[in-house]
C-alpha cells in the first residue's frame, strides 16, 4: 500500500498543477481582475496642528491636495462594490519631509485587503510653510461713480472701522489698506448698504489670494448724498471812518458766490451766506478795509462747502471814500419856520430869492441830490435859546437854516443863514 502511495510522483504533480491551472482559469472567467479609475480625489491633511501650533501657516502648492487620477486593480466583484467615496487619500504632517512634502497614502475604507493595487498620478502633497502674521487695519469707506447732477457725496461712514487679517507673512505684508467700496452712480438720496471689505497693495491693486483670513467680510456703509446750491455772500459793515471819509456801502469779495451742499429741505430756506456785524469794522479808517474772512464759521448747521480746492477763506473789502462838498440852492419860500411864537409872522428878506446850502458826502450821492429833496428849517425855539431871548420882539435877525435830505447819507457843512424880519400881528 505504501508503495502505491509513493509511486507515480510525476503523474501526481502534473495532476495538481492541472487542477490549479483549471481553478485559476475558472476564477478568472467568473471574477476577473479589473481596473477602476477615479478622478479628482481630495487629499485629507492630517495633524495640521503640528504646523499651526508653531505659529506657522501652510499652503498647498500646485493643487497637490487633489489627485487627478486614482487607479485601482481588483477582482471585478470588488471593483463593482467601490465608488469614489470609498477611496481614502491621507497626508499626515507627521511624515513631513525636509523639503516640505508629505507622502500621500492611498487606501479604501472597505476591501482594502482584496486589492491588487491602488495608485495615484501623484504621490505627495507639496506645502509652502511660513510664519503666521496678524495685522489690524482701518476699514475706509470709499465711493465710486458719480451722483446725480446737482448733488454731491457728504460724509461716508461704516458700522465697523477695523479689520483683523491673518495669514502667511508673505501675503499679509503685501496688504496696504482695507476698503469698502460703494457705487453711488445716479443716486440723489442717502445710501445704506452692506459692502464687501477688499484688500489692496500699495499700488492700489486688489489682493485676491485665498490664504488670508478676515475677521469680517462685509461692513454696512452709509453714504450721505447732499444737494448743491450756489449762494451769494453778504456782509454787514460796522463803524465810522475818520472825519471827512465815508463807507461807500460797497463791499467787494474775492469770491462773491460760494457753492454749498446740504439736505434739500434745509437749503430751501437759505438764500445767502451772511457775514455778521463786527467782522468787518471800518472805525477810524482812512482807506479801504480788507479782512480775510473764514466763511465756514457762518455756514448754517448742516451746510458744508461743495467746491474742490476751496477751504472757505474770502477777502472782504469795505470801500472807503473821501467826502466831497456841493452847494444846493433852494428857493427861500421853501424854508419852514418851526417854533414861531403865536402872534408873530416871519418873513425872509435876505437872500431875496434862493438860499445856498452846502452838503458833504460821497460824490455819487451828492451828484444825485435835487433841491426838491432838501428839507430846510429855521428852528425858532433853538435860535431864541442860543441868543438868550426870552420874549420875541419885532425886528430883523440873522437866523441859521438847518437842512437835511431824507434817505441820503449827507450832512450839512457849514452854516447857512437868512435874514428874517419878525412882525407882530396887530390882532
Share of the chain above pLDDT 90, in %: 79
Q: Which CATH architecture has domain 131-227?
A: Beta Complex (2.170)
**Given this model, what pLDDT does residue 7 score?**
57
What is the reported pTM?
A: 0.57
Looking at domain 236-322, its CATH superfamily turns out to be: YbbR-like domain (2.170.120.40)
> Is 31-122's fold the same as 131-227's?
yes
**Given this model, what pLDDT does residue 26 score?**
46
CATH of domain 324-424: 2.170.120.30
Band the pLDDT of 18: cuts 50, 70, 90: low
pLDDT digits (tens, 9 = 90+) for 31-52: 899 999 999 999 999 999 999 9
**Given this model, what pLDDT does residue 199 score?**
96
Band the pLDDT of 16: cuts 50, 70, 90: low
pLDDT digits (tens, 9 = 90+) for 241-253: 999 999 999 999 9
pLDDT digits (tens, 9 = 90+) for 173-200: 999 999 999 999 988 888 999 999 999 9
How confident is the prediction for the chain on average, in pLDDT? Answer: 90
Is the domain defined by 31-122 classed in CATH 3.30.70?
Answer: no
pLDDT digits (tens, 9 = 90+) for 223-234: 999 999 999 999
**423 has a pLDDT exceeding 70:** yes
Q: If DSSP states are collapsed to H, E and C, what string results for the chain?
A: CHHHHHCCHHHHHHHHHHHHHHHHHHHHHHCCEEEEEEEEEECEEECCHHHHCCCEEEEECCCCCEEEEEEEEEEHHHHCCCCHHHEEEEEEHHHCCCCCEEEEEEEECCCHHHCCEEEECCCEEEEEEEEEEEEEEEEEEEEECCCCCCEEEEEEEECCCEEEEEEEHHHHCCCCEEEEEEECCCCCCCEEEEEEEEEECCCCCECCCCCCEECCCEEEEEEEEEEEEEEEEEECCECCCCCCEEEEEEEEECCCEEEEEECHHHHCCCCCEEECCCCCECCCCCCCEEEEEEHHHHCCCCCEECCCCCCCEEEEEEEEEECEEEEEEEEHHHCEEECCCCCEEEEEEECCCEEEEEEEECHHHHCCCCHHHEEEEEEHHHHHHHCCCCCCCCEEEEEEEEEEECCCCCEECCCEEEEEEEEECCC
Give residue limits of the domains in the chain.
Answer: 1-29, 31-122, 131-227, 236-322, 324-424
Amino acid at each position: 500500500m505504501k508503495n502505491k502511495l509513493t509511486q507515480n510522483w510525476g503523474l501526481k504533480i502534473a495532476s495538481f498543477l492541472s487542477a490549479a491551472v483549471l481553478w485559476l482559469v475558472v476564477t478568472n472567467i467568473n471574477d476577473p481582475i479589473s481596473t477602476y479609475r477615479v478622478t479628482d480625489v481630495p487629499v485629507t491633511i492630517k495633524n495640521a496642528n503640528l504646523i499651526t501650533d508653531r505659529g506657522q501657516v501652510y499652503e498647498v502648492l500646485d493643487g497637490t491636495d487633489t489627485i487627478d487620477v486614482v487607479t485601482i486593480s481588483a477582482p471585478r466583484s470588488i471593483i463593482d462594490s467601490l465608488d469614489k467615496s470609498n477611496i481614502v487619500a491621507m497626508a499626515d504632517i507627521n511624515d513631513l519631509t525636509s523639503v516640505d512634502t508629505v507622502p500621500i497614502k492611498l487606501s479604501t475604507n472597505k476591501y482594502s485587503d482584496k486589492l491588487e493595487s491602488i495608485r495615484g498620478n501623484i504621490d505627495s502633497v507639496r506645502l509652502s510653510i511660513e510664519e503666521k502674521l496678524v495685522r489690524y487695519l482701518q476699514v475706509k469707506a470709499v465711493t465710486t461713480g458719480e451722483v446725480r447732477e446737482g448733488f454731491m457725496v457728504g460724509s461716508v461712514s461704516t458700522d465697523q472701522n477695523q479689520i483683523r487679517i491673518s495669514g502667511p507673512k508673505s501675503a499679509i505684508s503685501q496688504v496696504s489698506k482695507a476698503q469698502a467700496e460703494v457705487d453711488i452712480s445716479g443716486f440723489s438720496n442717502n445710501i445704506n448698504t452692506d459692502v464687501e471689505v477688499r484688500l489692496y497693495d500699495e499700488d492700489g491693486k486688489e489682493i485676491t489670494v485665498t490664504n488670508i483670513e478676515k475677521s469680517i467680510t462685509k461692513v454696512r456703509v452709509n453714504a450721505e448724498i447732499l444737494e448743491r446750491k450756489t449762494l451769494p455772500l453778504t456782509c454787514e459793515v460796522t463803524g465810522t471812518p475818520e472825519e471827512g471819509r465815508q463807507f461807500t456801502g460797497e463791499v467787494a469779495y474775492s469770491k462773491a458766490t460760494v457753492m454749498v451742499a446740504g439736505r434739500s429741505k434745509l437749503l430751501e430756506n437759505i438764500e445767502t451766506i451772511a457775514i455778521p456785524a463786527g467782522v468787518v469794522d471800518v472805525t477810524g479808517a482812512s482807506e479801504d478795509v480788507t479782512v480775510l474772512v473764514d466763511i465756514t464759521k457762518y455756514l448754517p448747521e448742516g451746510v458744508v462747502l461743495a467746491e474742490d480746492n476751496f477751504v472757505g477763506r474770502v477777502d472782504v473789502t469795505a470801500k472807503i471814500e473821501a467826502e466831497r462838498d456841493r452847494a444846493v440852492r433852494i428857493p427861500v419860500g421853501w424854508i419852514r419856520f418851526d417854533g414861531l411864537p403865536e402872534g408873530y409872522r416871519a418873513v425872509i428878506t435876505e437872500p431875496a430869492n434862493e438860499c445856498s446850502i452846502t452838503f458833504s458826502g460821497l460824490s455819487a450821492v451828492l451828484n444825485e441830490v435835487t433841491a426838491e429833496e432838501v428839507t430846510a428849517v429855521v428852528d425858532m425855539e433853538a435860535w431864541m435859546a442860543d441868543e438868550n431871548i426870552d420874549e420875541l420882539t419885532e425886528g430883523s435877525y440873522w437866523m441859521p437854516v438847518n437842512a437835511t435830505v431824507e434817505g441820503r447819507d449827507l450832512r450839512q457843512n457849514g452854516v447857512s443863514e437868512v435874514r428874517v424880519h419878525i412882525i407882530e400881528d396887530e390882532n
